[in-house]
Amino acid sequence: MPYLRWIFVTTTLTALFTSGGLWLEQRLRGEPTAVAKPHLSEPASTPLQVLITGAVAQPGLYRLPAGSPVQALLSLAGGPQPDARLSDLDLSRPLKPGEVLYIASTAAAESDGAESVETDADPARFERAAKPSRHPKSKMSDSKSPRTKQTKATGPKKSAPLKLNQANVSELDRLPGVGPALAQRIVDWRREHGPFASLDDLLQVKGIGEKKLAKLKGQIRL
C-alpha cells in the first residue's frame, strides 16, 4: 500500500510540474508583435497637355489630369459646335500625352469625307497658333451661309487677310480658287507639320501651284 501511494504522489507532481512549465513558457513568449509595413506613396501623376482643333467652341491647347477622357477635353474647350461630328469619337477613351484631337464638322464630312481624328504630336509647336483660338471666331456664323459661283469668281469682300495658321476648313473654303477638299488638305498639312512658317510653304500642299499662290497672297497672312 505505501508503495502505491508513493507512485500516485510522484505521478501527480510530475503532471503539475509539466503543466506549470508549459504555462510559464507561453507567458514568457507573449503575443507576437505586429510589424507595421512602410506606406509607399504613389508617385504624383503628370498633367496631360493636349491640343483640340476643329468644330469646338474654344479650340486650343489645354492641360488636364492624367487619365482624363475625351469628354473632359470637350467640356474644357466649351463643348462641340452644333455641326460637330462626334460619331467617330470614343468620348470615354483616356487621352494620351501630346495628343492632337481634331473635331470635324458635319458639313466638312459630307463634302470632303473628313472625320474627327486623334493624332500624336508635340503640342508645344502648336502653342502659338492655338492660343489666339481660345475665343470664338467672329466669322464662324458666316460659314453656314450659302455660297454661289459668282461669289467664288469675284472673291470675298474686302476685309482683313485671313490668318492662315488659325483658319478652319470653312474659312479657307471661302477663299477664291479653294474648295472644301483643298481647304481640308491645308488644315491636314498644318496639323501634321505645324504652323506655316511662310506663305510659300503652301506650295507643299497638293493642289497649290505658283499661280494659285499668287492669287491667295493678297487674301491671307500668317
Q: Rounded mean pLDDT of 144-153?
A: 47
Return the bridge partners of 163, or none.
221
> What is the spatial distance between Cα 176 and Cα 202, in angstroms, rounded to a whole number?
15
- 8-state DSSP, 113: -
Q: Does residue 36 form part of some domain?
A: no
> Please, which pLDDT band fits residue 85 given cuts at 50, 70 and 90?
confident
Q: Rounded mean pLDDT of 101-111?
A: 75
Three-state DSSP state, 60: strand
Q: Does residue 39 form part of some domain?
A: no
Cα of 10 vs its chain's centroid, Å: 87
Total domains in the fold of the chain = 2
pTM (two decimals): 0.37
C-alpha cell at 137: 471666331
Pairing outcome for strands 220-221 and 162-163: parallel
| Residues 6 or more apart in contact with residue 97 via CB below 8 angstroms | 46, 48, 49, 50
| Nearest residue to 57 via CA among 31, 38, 76 | 76
What pLDDT is recorded for position 80? 92
What pLDDT is recorded for position 58? 92
Range of the domain at 64: 45-136
**Among 40-44, 57-61, 86-90, 138-142, the range of highest mean pLDDT:** 57-61
Q: Does residue 79 form part of some domain?
A: yes
Q: Does residue 172 form part of some domain?
A: yes
Q: Which of 88, 114, 136 is the last residue of a domain?
A: 136
What pLDDT is recorded for position 18? 76
Alpha helices in 140-179 (DSSP H): 149-154, 169-173
Same domain? For 155 and 220 the reply is yes
First to last CA, the chain: 124
